[in-house]
Amino acid sequence: MQQDLGEMVTSLEKAWWFTPNQKLQKMNEEISNDPLMNKVYIPSNLVPIDEISVPMGVNIKNLDY
């Protein structure tokens, strides 16, 4: 059962299209009355490579991707 719970949590972490309250509901937890918990939060940590800046003096050929 603990493994199933862990798998559910991992899956829900990646399911950005669910609101936090929907995730709580899927986990059979009590939902929150906070209106922010009914909003969808999108991941925003990815940017196009041409929009990043590399400090001067760094050889981009040596960067790990």
Mean pLDDT per 10-residue interval, the chain, length 65 residues:
85 94 96 96 81 69 62
Q: Tell me which residue of 20, 12, 13, 11 sits closest to 40, measured CA to CA.
A: 20
Report the pLDDT value the prediction gives residue 48, as an integer from 0 to 100.
76
What's the rounded Cα separation, in Å, for the pair 40 and 49?
Answer: 26
Determine whether 9 is exposed, middle or buried from the number of CB atoms within 10 Å of its CB (0-12, 13-18, 19+).
exposed
Report the pLDDT value the prediction gives residue 51, as an integer from 0 to 100.
78
Report the pLDDT value the prediction gives residue 44, as an integer from 0 to 100.
83
Whole-structure pTM value: 0.66
Report the pLDDT value the prediction gives residue 63, as an integer from 0 to 100.
64
